[in-house]
Amino acid sequence: MRDVAVIGAGMTKFGKFLDRSLKDLTREAVQEALDSAGTEKAKLQVAVVGNATAGLITGQEMIRGQVVLRDIGIGGLPVINTENACASSSTAFHLAWMYVASGMYDVALAVGMEKLYHEDKRRSFQAIGAAVDVEWVEQMAAAAKAAREAQGDGERQPTFEEGAGEKRSMFMDFYAAFARQHMQRYGTTKEQFGRVAVKNHYHGSLNPHAQYREVYTLEDILNSPVVAEPLTRLMCSPIGDGAAAAVLVPADQARQYSSKPVFVRASVLVSGADRAPDEPGTTERAVGQAYDMAGLGPEDLNVIELHDASAPAELVIYEELGLCPPGEGGKLIDSGFTKLGGPLPVNTSGGLISKGHPIGATGVAQIYEIYKQLRGEAGDRQVEGARVGLTENGGGMVKGDAAALSVHIFSL
- Residues designated catalytic: 86, 357
- Work out which of 122, 185, 255, 399 binds a copy of itself, going by CB under 8 A: 399
CA distance 345 to 305: 9
Binding characters for a copy of itself, 228-267, by CB under 8 A (x = yes): ----------------------------------------
- Work out which of 3, 35, 40, 61 binds a copy of itself, going by CB under 8 A: 61
Binding characters for a copy of itself, 266-295, by CB under 8 A (x = yes): ---xxxxxx----------x----------
Nearest Cα neighbor of 349 from 9, 3, 1 is: 9
Binding segment for a copy of itself (CB under 8 A), chosen from 65-73, 109-117, 149-157, 194-202, is 65-73
CA distance 299 to 291: 11
Closer Cβ to a copy of itself, 76 or 297, answer by number: 76
Angle at 182 between CA 177 and CA 184, to 5 degrees: 95
Closer Cβ to a copy of itself, 51 or 373, answer by number: 51
- Work out which of 7, 30, 37, 52 binds a copy of itself, going by CB under 8 A: 52
- Residues 368-397 binding a copy of itself (CB under 8 A) are 395-397
- Work out which of 111, 311, 403, 407 binds a copy of itself, going by CB under 8 A: 403
What pairs with residue 252 in β-bridges?
Answer: none
Report the nearest approach of a copy of itself to the CB of residue 267 (Å): 9
Burial annotation 291-326 (CB, 10 A radius, 16+ → b, else e): bebbebeeeebbbbbbbbbbbbbbbbbbbbbbbbee
Task: Establish how many alpha carbons lie within 13 A of residue 267's alpha carbon, considering only the half-sphere containing its beta carbon.
Answer: 26
- Residues 69-98 binding a copy of itself (CB under 8 A) are 69-71, 73, 75-85, 88, 91, 94-95, 98
Report the nearest approach of a copy of itself to the CB of residue 380 (Å): 34
Q: How big is the chain, counted in residues?
A: 412
Binding characters for a copy of itself, 127-166, by CB under 8 A (x = yes): x--xxxxxxx------------------------------
Cβ-Cβ contacts under 8 Å for 65 (sequence gap 6 or more): 47, 48, 49, 51, 79, 80, 81, 111
| Burial degree of 50 (CB within 10 A; 0-12, 13-18, 19+) | buried
Decide if 6 contacts 410 (C-beta within 8 A).
yes
Report the nearest approach of a copy of itself to the CB of residue 286 (Å): 9
Report the nearest approach of a copy of itself to the CB of residue 340 (Å): 33
Decide if 310 contacts 282 (C-beta within 8 A).
no
Report the nearest approach of a copy of itself to the CB of residue 174 (Å): 14
Long-range interactions of 56-60: CB distance < 8 A, separation 24+:
56/123, 56/126, 56/127, 56/130, 57/115, 57/116, 57/118, 57/123, 57/124, 57/127, 58/22, 58/115, 60/22
Report the nearest approach of a copy of itself to the CB of residue 65 (Å): 8
Which residue ranges make up the site for a copy of itself (CB under 8 A)?
1, 21, 52-53, 55-56, 58-64, 66-67, 69-71, 73, 75-85, 88, 91, 94-95, 98-99, 101-104, 127, 130-136, 269-274, 285, 395-399, 401, 403-404
